[in-house]
């Protein structure tokens, strides 16, 4: 019907350009340009319409707008807190040593949160531009995992969680971007530690499956409800905002993981049971180093 209206207006002698939203037979955005064709005497004898399917383009635009809105929202909270804290310090809290010390500590925390958010945003945007410049090299997955465990054992200790390597194949190598893959593993292990419980475990498992290198991070943590599983890789998606904020989460960690795995032509999936734990599985194709 909308298309008819546009063409009709053109047949009345007016050039028309419009974007139409269709719901049926599927959701589409069409850009329509309709122009009258006139005879030598200037009478409209027909119309010519060009219809362009701009569905993908407008989806991308919407995604970009959502992303900007999300980033602004995420930045607003720490900035508002920083302002409130500095206002209170100026309005007298500075005189009270105990409150001043607490406010300063909170200021530091908010600043750390802001810089983590900026770091993650930069990492995402670098990944998006990275398509052609992966620094590929051959290395042992076991070594990657050991490096990660060494770095994360302090964090694990802080959360009362034990961290280890299980079933780790000695000789399983991949050709991949070592530093990116390490970032992905670090993010998975960070989550497995943070969304755990005191006395819990985190294991990194490395094995081969039908010529594919498999790297798993298994935890005995709080779990993720089934209906939320497909969403955890979305940017800024957090199940428990309060807990994620408390532990310094930005909601970007898993989208960074997925991006890195995608760039390597691999897959990442998650299985989870509430109150029992979650397992994230990364599968990487085993390319020859030559």
Contacts with ligand ADP by CB under 6 A lie at 187, 191-192, 195, 219, 221-222, 224, 232, 237-240, 244, 249-255, 278
CB of 239 to ligand ADP, least distance (A): 3
Closer to ligand ADP by Cβ: residue 123 or 222:
222
CB 238 to ligand ADP: min, Å = 3
Residue (52 or 246) nearer to ligand ADP, CB: 246
Helix, strand, coil percentages in the chain from 3-state DSSP, rounded to 5:
50, 25, 25
CA distance 157 to 248: 17
Residues pairing with 107 in the sheet: none
Q: How far is the CB of 219 from ligand ADP (least distance, A)?
A: 5
In terms of CB distance, is 29 or 255 closer to ligand ADP? 255
Question: What tokens were used for 241?
Answer: 């905002």
CB nearer to ligand ADP: give 34 or 113.
Answer: 113
Q: How far is the CB of 31 from ligand ADP (least distance, A)?
A: 35
Q: Which residues contact 217 (CB under 8 A, 6 or more apart)?
A: 185, 188, 189, 192, 202, 203, 204, 205, 279, 280
Q: What is the smallest separation between the CB atom of 250 and ligand ADP, expressed in angstroms?
A: 5
User: For the purposes of burial, counting CB atoms within 10 Å of the CB of 91, is it exposed (0-12), middle (13-18) or buried (19 or more)?
Assistant: exposed
Compute the least distance from the CB of residue 228 to ligand ADP, in Å.
8
CA-CA-CA-CA dihedral for 80, 85, 89, 95, to nearest 10: 170
DSSP 39: -
Least Cβ distance, residue 156 to ligand ADP (angstroms): 13
Give the neighbor-by-neighbor strand order of the sheet with 44-53: 16-22, 28-38, 44-53
**85 or 188: CB nearest ligand ADP:** 188
DSSP string, 223-268: ---GGGGGGTTSTT--S-HHHHHHTT--S-HHHHHHHHHHHTT-EE
Q: Which one, 214 or 222, has the nearer CB to ligand ADP?
A: 222
Measured from the CB atom, the residue of 14 and 240 that comes closer to ligand ADP is 240
Q: Which uninterrupted H or E stretch holds 211?
A: none
């Amino acid at each position: 019907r909308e298309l008819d209206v546009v063409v009709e207006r053109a047949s009345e002698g007016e050039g028309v350009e419009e974007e139409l939203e269709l719901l049926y037979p599927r959701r589409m955005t069409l850009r329509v340009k309709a122009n009258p064709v006139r005879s030598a005497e200037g009478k409209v004898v027909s119309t010519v319409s060009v219809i362009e399917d701009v569905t993908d383009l407008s989806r991308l635009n919407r995604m970009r707008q959502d992303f900007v809105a999300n980033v602004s929202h995420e930045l607003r909270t720490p900035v508002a807190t920083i302002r409130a804290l500095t206002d209170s310090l100026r309005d007298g809290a500075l005189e009270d040593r105990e409150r001043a010390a607490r406010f300063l500590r909170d200021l530091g925390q908010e600043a750390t949160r802001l810089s983590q958010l900026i770091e993650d945003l930069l990492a995402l945007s670098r990944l998006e531009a990275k398509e052609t410049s992966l620094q590929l090299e051959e290395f042992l997955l076991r070594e990657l995992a050991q490096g990660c465990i060494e770095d994360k054992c302090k964090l694990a200790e802080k959360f009362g969680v034990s961290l280890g390597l299980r079933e780790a194949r000695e000789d399983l190598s991949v050709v991949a971007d070592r530093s990116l893959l390490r970032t992905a593993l670090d993010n998975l292990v960070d989550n497995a530690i943070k969304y755990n419980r005191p006395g819990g475990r985190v294991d990194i498992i490395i094995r081969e499956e039908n010529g594919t290198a498999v790297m798993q991070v298994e935890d005995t943590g709080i779990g993720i409800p089934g209906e939320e599983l497909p969403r955890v890789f979305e940017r800024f998606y957090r199940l428990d905002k309060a807990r994620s904020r408390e532990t310094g989460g930005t909601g970007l960690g898993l989208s960074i993981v997925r991006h890195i795995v995608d760039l390597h032509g691999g897959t990442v999936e998650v299985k989870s049971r509430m109150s029992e734990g979650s397992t994230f599985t990364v599968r990487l194709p085993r390319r020859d180093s030559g």
